[in-house]
Amino acid sequence: MVDRNKKRVITLEEYIIQAQNKFPGATGDLSQLLRDIGLAAKIISREVNKAGITNILGEDGSKNIHGESVKKLDLFADEQMISALNRAEITCMVISEENDGIVELDNAGGKYIVYLDPLDGSSNIDVNVSIGSIFSIYMREKPGSNQLSADEALQPGLKQVAAGYVLYGSSTLLTYTTGMGVSVFTLDPSIGEFILSEDDVKIPDKGTIYSVNEGSYHSWDKGLKQYIKYCQVEDKETSRPYKARYIGSMVADVHRTLKTGGIFIYPNSSQYPNGKLRLMYECNPLSLIIEQAGGLAIDGKGRILEIEPEAIHQRTPIFIGSQENVLKVKEFLDKYSSETISA
């Protein structure tokens, strides 16, 4: 007997097709692009889950353009994502953390530009802590042209047509938005499919967790120092002190913030006066997701998604999370804005 009350299983592919059908005249290209990313995510997830028993842990001996040591799994993830995006020939170029300039794909006339952080938090790989992949999709302003340049990829985050991340943790999750809310899918390894686990996800208006690397406290602006002190002072009326949680993988920290509320912070400092995280393939896509869920993302002064980029690997500070938490930290930053960073 069929249990009609049982929740129907919806796969990522089915969900994407249903969404596409809501728009008469849709070509299906963006849907194909999202399915290709989902396929690459499955392959990366498989390797992550067996990394300890294969020769894919550790560093490969090289450094990326940011001077950071490259892990073997970084390169594997980069190769899988780029290969998947090249297959359908609808993407003209990829910009990745692991590559200096643009990566031109086989179809130079393709209409999409994709930014990638193939494996965020890779310093956690060898100690089995959650890591992830981040993607950001833009439409070309001059589709059909075979002349590709980095300048064409320099679009503000507001122009993203889709963005998302894959989290490789206790389960593998794919979270994405096309500007119509946020959906989360969980990989069912028994059938090899991403299954819809949450739709129209909303971040709490306020949370009691702050996430920041407090080891850099002495290099921060005074406003941020004062905000962290505020988070630590007991006040039952405002549910303080807040709890400190910091994983060291932006995807994992932001996913927790999306689910439970609160704030994730990676500020400017004396060591990184312009911030450390990359605007185009870390901050923009995650900011779009958090905003679509009802939260906020700022660089300390204004909205992340409104920043006009000047370089494909541009860095920025970020304060992202629940509305009340982000507005509160901005109060402190504004109040002490004239005070310089400590040496």
Binding site, by residue number, is 97, 117, 119-123, 213, 246, 276, 282
Annotated binding site for Mg(2+): 97, 117, 119-120, 282
DSSP, collapsed to helix, strand or coil, labels residue 1 as: coil
Annotated binding site for substrate: 120-123, 213, 246, 276
- Residues 256 and 290: their CA atoms lie apart, in Å, by 11
- Residues 317 and 288: their CA atoms lie apart, in Å, by 16
- Residue 80, token pair as written in the block: 């899988």
Stated as kind and residue range, the H or E segment containing 329 is helix 323-335
- Residues 112 and 139: their CA atoms lie apart, in Å, by 5
- Residue 6, token pair as written in the block: 């049982």
Burial of 259 (0-12, 13-18, 19+ CB in 10 A): middle
DSSP secondary structure string, 120-155?
ETGGGGGGT--EEEEEEEEE-SSTT-----GGGG--
